[in-house]
């Protein structure tokens, strides 16, 4: 499964298998920020074992650079070239524990790949945002989603 972006597809791998819903979302960013397109991939695991979700941008556009950029309760990767910026983000370890009550780790595998590992079943939403403007934090802010709709594991 994947989400197409101007820099190339963002692919997702979930272990063990999960029910996945990919949908367009309305970004929650300040009005003066540039226009951002936001999609989410929500993974719901029924298994009562460790679970893992990996998100990776496979850049097909030329001259793509960037890398990890975390913030309070957010782990994200932002990549850009002269024509677009793409961010992939989701909850950091503190947010997983505080908001979902699930222990987990987040690992940057390289400058384009993030893996979330959770100690038990849960629902995890990963966001992907892009904008035609570069060198602006709008996409990074857009992937910092509120958790009010997150389901707590069994």
pLDDT per residue over 65-92, tens digit each? 999 988 889 999 999 999 999 999 999 9
**What length does the chain have?**
154
What share of the chain has pLDDT > 90, as a percent?
60
34-68 pLDDT tens trace: 999 999 999 888 766 788 999 999 988 889 999 99
Please give the share of the chain, as a percent, with pLDDT higher than 70.
93
Q: For residues 84, 116, 53 and 65, what is the CA-based torsion angle, rounded to 10 degrees?
A: 20
What pLDDT score was predicted for residue 153? Answer: 40
**What is the predicted pLDDT for the residue at 47?**
65
Sign of CA dihedral 98, 99, 105, 109: negative
The pLDDT, as a whole number, for residue 149 is 44
Q: How confident is the model at residue 106 (pLDDT cuts 50, 70, 90)?
A: very high
Q: What is the pTM of this model?
A: 0.88
Question: What stretch of H or E contains 65?
Answer: strand 65-68
Closest CA to 143 of 80, 92, 81: 92
Look at residue 147 in the predicted model and tell me its pLDDT: 62
Mean pLDDT estimate for the chain: 88
Nearest-angstrom CA–CA distance, 47 and 36: 34
């Amino acid at each position: 499964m994947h989400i197409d972006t101007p820099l190339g597809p963002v692919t997702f791998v979930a272990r063990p298998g999960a029910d996945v819903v990919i949908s367009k979302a309305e970004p929650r960013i300040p009005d003066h920020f540039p226009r951002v397109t936001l999609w989410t991939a929500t993974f719901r695991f029924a298994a009562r074992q460790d679970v893992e979700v990996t998100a990776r941008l496979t850049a097909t556009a030329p001259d793509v650079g960037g890398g990890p950029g975390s913030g309070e309760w957010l782990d994200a990767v932002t990549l850009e070239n002269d024509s677009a910026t793409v961010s992939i983000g989701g909850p950091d370890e503190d947010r997983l524990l505080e908001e979902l009550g699930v222990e987990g780790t987040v690992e940057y595998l390289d400058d384009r790949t993030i893996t979330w590992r959770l100690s038990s079943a849960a629902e995890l939403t990963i966001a992907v945002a892009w904008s035609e403007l570069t060198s602006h934090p709008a996409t990074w802010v857009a992937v910092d989603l509120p958790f009010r709709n997150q389901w707590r594991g069994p």
